[in-house]
Structure 1
Amino acid sequence: MKLLITGANRGLGLALTTEAIKRGHSVLAGVRNPEQGADALRHLSADFPSQLKIVPLNVTNEDTCMKASKQLEADDIRLDAIINNAAILNERGKAIEELDIEKVEESFQINLFGTMRVIKHFLPVLVKGPNSTILNISSEAGSFQNAYGGDYPYALSKSAVNMFSEQLRKYLSNEQVSVFAVHPGWIKTDMGGEKAPGTPEDSARGLLDIIERKKELEGSPTFINFKGEPMPF
């Protein structure tokens, strides 16, 4: 399979890229700035040049999304899966009275609008059918039932990602493309912190199992965790 993974240079994105390559898949690794902070990806690309291509892709810049997708069309490359992983967590722990609204807008620009930009431009090069998948990385923080009165920019933007995923699922229902918003678990990344009980590698394995149809999902959930279990909206 050919996968597009955004935010692929670190954390869960890097783990997903590594795991996908181990399983024999080809990855287009979207990175905001390939010249900075992408050393691990470059080393991986040197070891697996036929399976990994690093693509300049800034999800806040629509031109980079359009340029990258047009290049795929020109090269006659079709995708089997899109994983929207690029995200930001800012204004952590701030009360509503303390929030910098510009930081809230930044969260939506990356977490929600970035996801939408990627789908807008890469959906035309996604193979349509029952074996194709869109994974939008979300969070339990975006669940209405799990609202905890904090991390407003992150929680609100991820809740919107859940809604966008449901909308997209309905839009693509006749095409049989699977669309999920996925809680990857609390994992040890720059975002999750060192106290997190899980690892990005464990989460990546679960997410790839979902894409490879190795997990039996109960019912027809849109919001799930990395084990394929339904999450409450």
Structure 2
Amino acid sequence: MNILITGAGRGLGLELAAECLERGHHVLAGLRRPDEAGEAFRALASKHGERLEAVRLDVSDEPGIAELAARLSGQGRPLGAIVNNAAVLEARETPIERLDLAFMESTMDINLYGPMRVAKHLLPLLTELDAALVNISSEAGSLTNAYPGDYPYTLSKAAMNLLTEQLARVLAERGAIALSVHPGWMRTDMGGEQAKLDPRESARGIADLIERRIVVPEGFRFVDYKGRPMAI
């Protein structure tokens, strides 16, 4: 399976790339600056060779995404999975009275419009058998469990969950699935060192969802990394 992962240079994206490679898949690792890939990514590339392909992919750059889609299409390369993982977390714990709305604009541009740009140009290539679109969401995007603070991040993830529901209906017509996945509170740059979950464990669950080893119950497509339904 050809699996495209955005934000694959570190954190969950890098761990998911590693897990998918271990399972024998070909990974197109979306990086904003492939020539500046970190040591961990270079080590992964050295281990897996041509099955790990770094591609220039900045989710805020629509012309660049369109160019990537055209190149893959010209090469006759279908996709089996797209994972929208790239995201930012800004203005943490900022009361709305002090919130600079520029953070709302930049966060929505990456966390919501980014996946929309990817879907716009790359969904036509998502044609492998039992294909999957996975949007990495968060429990913070649940209306039921809404809490004050983190306005840019939580609002962007709630909107992403609705985007997933819309795309799921489109993809169902071709036998593909779309999921919003809460990856858990992980020890990453975003999650911090206090987090209890190893990102590789989350990556294993997400890979199981992509491969349909885990069958998601009927209903909303918002689940955790083990396929368990999340509160909307």
Structure 1 stretch displaced more, 196-205 or 169-178: 169-178
- Corresponding letter in the other structure for 2:93: G
Matches within 5 A, 1:62-81: 62-81=62-81
| Counterpart residue number, 1:125 | 125
State the AA in 1 paired with 2:66: M
Structure 2: runs of 5+ lacking an equivalent: none
Partner of 1:14 in structure 2? 14
Q: 2:185 and 2:105 mapped to 1: Cα distance?
A: 24
After TM superposition, the structure 1 stretch with the greater mean CA deviation from structure 2, 45-54 or 138-147, is 45-54
> 1:96-147 CA distances to partner (integer Å, 9 max, x unpaired)?
0111111111000000000000111111111165x11000000000000010
Tell me the CA shift for residue 45 of structure 1: 1.5
What is the DSSP-based 3-state SS (H/G/I as helix, E as strand, rest coil) of the residue aligned with 2:82? strand
RMSD: 1.1
How far off is 1:38 after superposition? 3.0
State the partner residue of 2:215.
216
Contact kept, 8 Å, 1:11 with 1:190, in 2: the verdict is yes
Question: Which whole-Å deviations, capped at 9, do the CAs of 1:26-60 have from their partners, x for residues lacking one?
Answer: 00000011123433222212221221100010000
1:199 matched to which residue of 2? Answer: 198
Residue 155 of structure 2 is matched in structure 1 by 156
Moved more, 216-225 or 77-86: 216-225
Contact residue 78 and residue 128 of structure 2 kept, 8 A: no
Mapped to 2, the partners of 1:128 and 1:204 lie a distance apart of 21
Partner of 2:30: 30
Aligned residues: 232
3-state DSSP class of the match of 1:49?
A: helix
Q: How does 1:96-175 map to 2 (within 5 A)?
A: 96-127=96-127, 129=129, 131-175=130-174
Q: Which runs of 5+ in 1 are unaligned?
A: none
Partner of 2:57: 57
Q: Distance in 1 between matches of 2:68 and 2:128?
A: 19
**Residues 105 and 220 of structure 1: is their aligned pair in 2 closer, same or farther, counting only changes over 3 Å?**
same
The corresponding residue for 2:89 is 89
1:231 is matched with which residue?
230
| Farther off after superposition, 27-36 or 90-99 | 27-36
Quote the offset at 1:180 in angstroms.
0.3
Separation (CA, whole Å) in 2 of partners of 1:63 and 1:42: 27
Letter in 2 for 1:108: M
Report percent identity of matched pairs: 47
Which TM-score applies when normalising by structure 1?
0.97
Distance 1:149 1:49 in 2: 46
Provide, for residues 40-84 of structure 1, a one-character-per-residue CA deviation record: whole Å limited to 9, x for no partner. 222212221221100010000101101111111111111000000
Report the 3-state secondary structure (helix = DSSP H, G, I; strand = E; otherwise coil) of the residue aligned with 2:169.
helix
Please give the alpha-carbon distance, in whole angstroms, between the structure 2 residues aligned to 1:46 and 1:37. 12
Partner amino acid, structure 1, of 2:101: I
CA shift, 1:170, in A, is 1.4
Moved over 3 A (4+): none
